[in-house]
Amino acid sequence: MTLWTLFFKNSNILSEENSTQKKDILLIKDIKYKNKLVEVYLSTNKNINLSDLEKLCDSVGWLRRPIKKVKTAIQNSFLIVSLIQKIDGKACLIGFARATSDYAFNATIWDVVVHPDFQGQGLGKILVHEIIKELRSYEINTITLFADPEVVVFYNNLGFVSDPNGIKGMFWYPK
């Protein structure tokens, strides 16, 4: 499968406040789900249910990865952002993204996923914006990711640029 390397430099989309919030934050009160309006919470807690994450990745057809390695990857990630739908007292993981980093200059975003039942309602954009906001709060300037061809435009619209011909990296520097 072809992957595109995309780079993001700086952001004027979001404020750069330092957010160390670890509690779930009510993000949206009334997102549509099966003719109901449900609440969606945002969490940066790394202690997520790995089986729920596996189900979420299954829902978009990703190949399964060894759960132990996924656990290690999460524990060693710089940042995790997850979206949790709460309805009738039950919580369900509906979105996820993570970033690795050298904590100073560079970071890479991985595993951006929104459950198909919730796609097209702005949640993917929120996940990426949230990651960028957090990384920028650490003054990390270079943010990269690997994009499948069908989501290159999605990332382009969020400020990422592709490396030309898949060979050379392109960078955008803060002015």
Ligand X SMILES: CC(C)(COP(=O)(O)OP(=O)(O)OC[C@H]1O[C@@H](n2cnc3c(N)ncnc32)[C@H](O)[C@@H]1OP(=O)(O)O)[C@@H](O)C(=O)NCCC(=O)NCCS
Please state whether beta strands 4-9 and 142-147 pair in parallel, antiparallel, or not at all (unpaired): antiparallel
SS3 state of residue 28: strand
The pair of structure tokens assigned to 90 is: 């039950």
| Residue reference for tokens 């949206």 | 28
Phi, psi (degrees; rounded to nearest 5) at 54: -60, -45
Sheet holding 90-101, edge to edge: 25-33, 36-43, 79-87, 90-101, 106-114, 142-147, 4-9, 161-162
Q: Is residue 124 part of the contact set for ligand X (CB under 6 A)?
A: yes
- Nearest-approach distance from CB 54 to ligand X, in angstroms: 14
Contact status, residue 25 vs residue 41, Cβ threshold 8 Å: yes
Does 123 contact ligand X by CB under 6 A? Answer: yes
Site size toward ligand X (CB under 6 A) is 18
Select the residue interacting with ligand X from 14, 37, 60, 104 (CB under 6 A): 60
**159 lies in the site for ligand X, by CB under 6 A:** no
Residue 162 engages ligand X in binding (rule: CB under 6 A): no
The piece of 22-30, 36-44, 120-128, 134-142 that touches ligand X (CB under 6 A) is: 120-128
The residue from 154, 161, 163, 172 that contacts ligand X (CB under 6 A) is 154
Name the segment binding ligand X (CB under 6 A); options: 18-26, 68-76, 78-86, 111-119: 111-119
Pick the catalytic residue: 33, 103, 138, 155?
Answer: 155
Does position 100 interact with ligand X (CB under 6 A)? The reply is no
Least distance to ligand X, CB of residue 160, Å: 11
- Burial of residue 140 (number of CB atoms within 10 Å: 0-12, 13-18, 19+): buried
State yes or no: is 33 an active-site residue: no
* Closer residue to ligand X (CB): 26 or 153: 153
User: Residues with catalytic annotation?
Assistant: 155
